[in-house]
């Protein structure tokens, strides 16, 4: 479907950017002492600062025009109304229902799903409380000291990220572990540290067919059966899935099975029973605070005007950089060590959602879609890849995330951490001209020839855009807000690009081909006919190396 209004809005932005190029972001601050006030939005104690973007009030107005041209508000309302926004799978995407703590209904096919959501939430909470209290225990009567989530992608990344982020809120007596990779090293390195009598496994899989998860679950089952006997298995396993039939086949007791629904996408599922291991670790009350943070953002996204709407601004500014400035990579840098897995979590959320080349109708997209997302915590990243961010030939817009205060009261390092964070965003924006570089070297007493040789290496272009999320502390509610902000940002961009962010057909082909290659990897005499030269060559070389 051609969208002339969207094309016109992008053209207007391109013309505007040509003018903006003449202005430096740092000069926009000099011109307007109120710039920070105008270019940040606060959501309770969370501040979204986008003032370091090369953007003016005209830019924001043009971005809002773009949102209107793409009918963002109509799509947002359809999302919340349970419309089948996942058109290729014929499903709604109603993860917001999972964090709805109000009495308001969420409707799928004319039916309010909230009673089922609440019942499952309560079942999870009850189970988690019993595990934490030792009322649910292992086959030998010992309390569980370890809980191992076996899942991958959306059935792993969210809970694993959150368990680390919220570790100060966790029950020290039950340690959460996350096993995802089909590489047996992942499971065996985890199991090596664990006592089977004290370990509870949670098999988390929306489809309960995922190769990696099924292989790891089968091996974990053997680990329990070998140590404690086959009869003990039921006491050491729970499962989370939409496919209750398949869970039953695996032999997990019905009272240990927690369901969810096909209107919850895998990468949007950490709010559901997929969070079970997280709930056991941090407790149901903290998990409810996490849900509340998500709900805060849903209310904000639904009600705030577009020019003060954080997910809308995140998505619009991102699309501006992607489509008008042409940047294909963006970075997420938490100055918060416990958010170390947040970039990995966002990679799935963003890249699996918006890594698409066709529109909802199946036509080629009109312009570039989702960027590559990468990141590592600061300050570590400063000593690794920040060189390129400051002086490389490509520009990557950056999201910085930082708390106003540390979670641990005894953390004396926080001022250093915070100063580093805002120094980086300032340096990226401010840059350093050749004249400034020369003056600095002259001030050090360097001679003219040496200055001429060295100064070009000390130039920073500046105007490398970043946004900063500043929150009081990394608590469950803050984490819920951050996750939901990014979920809705991804949705906003999908609307601008007219793509379906809720399917993931791009993961299928590799899975299919793997199914064909597994027998050839298992049987060293199986003929390699019909394969391309590289695939056959690598299989043959592996066989030789294995002797």
Query: What 3-state DSSP class applies to 356?
Result: coil
Does position 18 bind ligand F6P by CB under 6 A?
no
Taking the C-alpha atoms of residue 73 and residue 59, their distance in angstroms, rounded to an integer, is 19
Does position 138 bind ligand F6P by CB under 6 A?
no
Query: Beta partners for 460?
Result: 432
Does position 356 bind ligand F6P by CB under 6 A?
no
Does position 465 bind ligand F6P by CB under 6 A?
no
Beta strands in 109-242 (DSSP E): 111-112, 146-150, 175-179, 199-204, 237-241
Tally the C-alpha atoms within 13 A of residue 540's C-alpha that lie toward its C-beta. 10
Min dist CB 350 to ligand F6P, Å, is 13
The one segment of 132-140, 204-212, 328-336, 417-425 that binds ligand F6P by CB under 6 A? 204-212
Closer to ligand F6P by CB, 2 or 211: give it.
211
Query: Of residues 38, 74, 111, 511, which has the active-site annotation?
Result: 511
Query: Beta partners for 400?
Result: 333, 468
* Short-list 261, 252, 272, CA closest to 124: 272
Q: Measured in Å, how far apart are the chain's first and last C-alpha atoms?
A: 57
Min dist CB 158 to ligand F6P, Å, is 9
CB within 8 A of 185, min separation 6: which ones? none
Residue in 158, 196, 266, 377 binding ligand F6P, rule: CB under 6 A:
266
Residue in 82, 92, 138, 153 binding ligand F6P, rule: CB under 6 A:
153
Does position 354 bind ligand F6P by CB under 6 A?
no
Query: Of residues 352, 356, 488, 489, which has the active-site annotation?
Result: 352
Are the CB atoms for 490 and 353 separated by under 8 Å? yes
Residue in 435, 453, 507, 526 binding ligand F6P, rule: CB under 6 A:
507
Closer to ligand F6P by CB, 154 or 176: give it.
154
Min dist CB 213 to ligand F6P, Å, is 5
* Short-list 494, 505, 512, CA closest to 71: 494
Taking the C-alpha atoms of residue 365 and residue 207, their distance in angstroms, rounded to an integer, is 29
Query: Of residues 22, 37, 383, 508, which has the active-site annotation?
Result: 383
Closer to ligand F6P by CB, 213 or 309: give it.
213
The DSSP output letter for 112 is E
Are the CB atoms for 290 and 298 separated by under 8 Å? no
Does position 275 bind ligand F6P by CB under 6 A?
no
Does position 205 bind ligand F6P by CB under 6 A?
yes
Query: What 3-state DSSP class applies to 401?
Result: strand
192 phi and psi, to 5 degrees? -55, -30
Indicate the pairing of strand 40-43 with strand 46-49. Answer: antiparallel
DSSP notation for 41-74: EEETTEEEE-TTSS--HHHHHHHHHHHHHTTHHH
Does position 267 bind ligand F6P by CB under 6 A?
yes
For residues 393-452, which are near ligand F6P according to CB under 6 A?
A: none
Q: Is the Cα dihedral 210, 272, 231, 137 positive or negative? A: positive
Closer to ligand F6P by CB, 154 or 377: give it.
154
Closer to ligand F6P by CB, 256 or 321: give it.
256
Rg, the chain, Cα only = 25
For residues 471-490, which are near ligand F6P according to CB under 6 A?
A: none
Min dist CB 153 to ligand F6P, Å, is 3
Residue in 213, 425, 468, 493 binding ligand F6P, rule: CB under 6 A:
213
43 phi and psi, to 5 degrees? -120, 100
Are the CB atoms for 399 and 469 separated by under 8 Å? yes
**Burial of 122 from C-beta contacts in 10 A (0-12 / 13-18 / 19+):** exposed
Tally the C-alpha atoms within 13 A of residue 178's C-alpha that lie toward its C-beta. 22
Min dist CB 483 to ligand F6P, Å, is 15
The one segment of 90-98, 199-207, 370-378, 473-481 that binds ligand F6P by CB under 6 A? 199-207
Does position 154 bind ligand F6P by CB under 6 A?
yes
The one segment of 147-155, 287-295, 313-321, 531-539 that binds ligand F6P by CB under 6 A? 147-155
Taking the C-alpha atoms of residue 161 and residue 343, their distance in angstroms, rounded to an integer, is 9
Query: What 3-state DSSP class applies to 385?
Result: coil
Does position 152 bind ligand F6P by CB under 6 A?
yes
The one segment of 48-56, 149-157, 336-344, 394-402 that binds ligand F6P by CB under 6 A? 149-157
Min dist CB 204 to ligand F6P, Å, is 7
Q: How many residues does the chain have?
A: 547
Determine whether 383 is an active site residue: yes
Does position 504 bind ligand F6P by CB under 6 A?
yes
Residue in 54, 121, 206, 221 binding ligand F6P, rule: CB under 6 A:
206
Are the CB atoms for 179 and 218 separated by under 8 Å? no
Closer to ligand F6P by CB, 86 or 478: give it.
86
Closer to ligand F6P by CB, 25 or 483: give it.
483
The one segment of 50-58, 66-74, 92-100, 202-210 that binds ligand F6P by CB under 6 A? 202-210
Tally the C-alpha atoms within 13 A of residue 289's C-alpha that lie toward its C-beta. 14
Does position 52 bind ligand F6P by CB under 6 A?
no
Does position 218 bind ligand F6P by CB under 6 A?
no
Closer to ligand F6P by CB, 46 or 274: give it.
274
Q: Catalytic residue positions?
A: 352, 383, 511
Footprint of ligand F6P on this chain (CB under 6 A)?
A: 152-155, 205-207, 210, 213, 266-267, 352, 504, 507
């Amino acid at each position: 479907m051609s969208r002339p209004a969207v094309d016109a809005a992008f053209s207007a932005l391109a013309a505007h950017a040509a003018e903006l190029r003449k202005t430096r972001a740092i000069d926009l601050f000099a011109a307007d002492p109120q710039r920070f006030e105008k270019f940040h939005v606060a959501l309770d104690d969370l501040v979204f600062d986008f003032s370091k973007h090369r953007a003016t009030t005209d830019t924001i107005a043009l971005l809002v025009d773009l949102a209107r041209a793409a009918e963002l508000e109509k799509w947002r309302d359809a999302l919340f109304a349970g419309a089948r926004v996942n058109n290729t799978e014929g499903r709604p995407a109603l993860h917001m229902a999972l964090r709805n703590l109000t009495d308001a209904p969420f409707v799928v096919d004319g039916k309010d799903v909230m009673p089922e959501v609440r019942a499952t939430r309560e079942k999870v909470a009850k189970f988690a409380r019993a595990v934490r209290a030792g009322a649910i225990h292992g086959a030998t009567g010992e309390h569980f000291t370890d809980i191992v989530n076996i899942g991958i992608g959306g059935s792993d990344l969210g809970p694993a990220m959150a368990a680390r982020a919220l570790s100060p809120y966790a029950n020290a007596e039950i340690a959460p572990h996350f096993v995802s990779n089909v590489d047996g090293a992942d499971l065996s390195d985890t199991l090596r540290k664990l006592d089977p009598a004290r370990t509870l496994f949670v098999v988390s899989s929306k489809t309960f067919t995922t190769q990696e998860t099924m292989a790891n679950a089968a091996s974990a089952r053997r680990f329990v059966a070998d140590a404690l006997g086959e009869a003990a298995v039921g006491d050491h396993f729970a499962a989370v899935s939409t496919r209750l039939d398949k869970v039953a086949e695996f032999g997990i007791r019905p009272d240990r099975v927690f369901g969810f629904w096909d209107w919850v996408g895998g990468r949007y599922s950490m709010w559901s029973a997929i969070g079970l291991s997280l709930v056991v670790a941090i407790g149901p009350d903290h998990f409810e605070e996490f849900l509340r943070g998500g709900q805060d953002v849903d209310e904000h996204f639904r009600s705030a005007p577009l020019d003060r709407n954080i997910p809308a601004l995140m998505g619009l500014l991102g699309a501006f950089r992607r489509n008008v400035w042409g940047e294909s990579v963006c970075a997420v840098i938490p100055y918060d060590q416990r958010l170390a897995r947040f970039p990995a979590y966002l990679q799935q959320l963003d890249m699996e959602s918006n890594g698409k080349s066709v529109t909802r109708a199946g036509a080629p997209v009109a312009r570039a879609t989702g960027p590559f997302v990468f990141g590592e915590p600061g300050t570590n990243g400063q000593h690794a890849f920040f060189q390129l961010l400051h002086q490389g030939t490509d520009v990557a817009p950056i999201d910085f995330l930082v708390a106003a205060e540390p979670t641990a009261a005894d953390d004396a390092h926080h001022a250093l951490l915070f100063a580093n964070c805002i120094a980086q965003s300032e340096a990226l924006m401010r840059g350093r001209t050749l004249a400034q570089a020369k003056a600095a070297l002259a001030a050090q007493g360097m001679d003219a020839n040496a200055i001429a040789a060295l100064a070009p290496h000390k130039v920073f272009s500046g105007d490398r855009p970043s946004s900063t999320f500043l929150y009081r502390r990394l608590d469950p509610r803050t984490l819920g807000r951050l996750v939901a902000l990014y979920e809705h940002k991804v949705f906003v961009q999908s609307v601008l690009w007219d793509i379906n962010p809720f399917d993931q057909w791009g993961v299928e082909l590799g899975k299919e081909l793997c199914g064909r290659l597994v027998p050839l990897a298992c049987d060293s005499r199986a003929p390699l006919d019909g394969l391309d030269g590289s695939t056959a060559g690598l299989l043959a070389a592996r066989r030789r190396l294995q002797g």
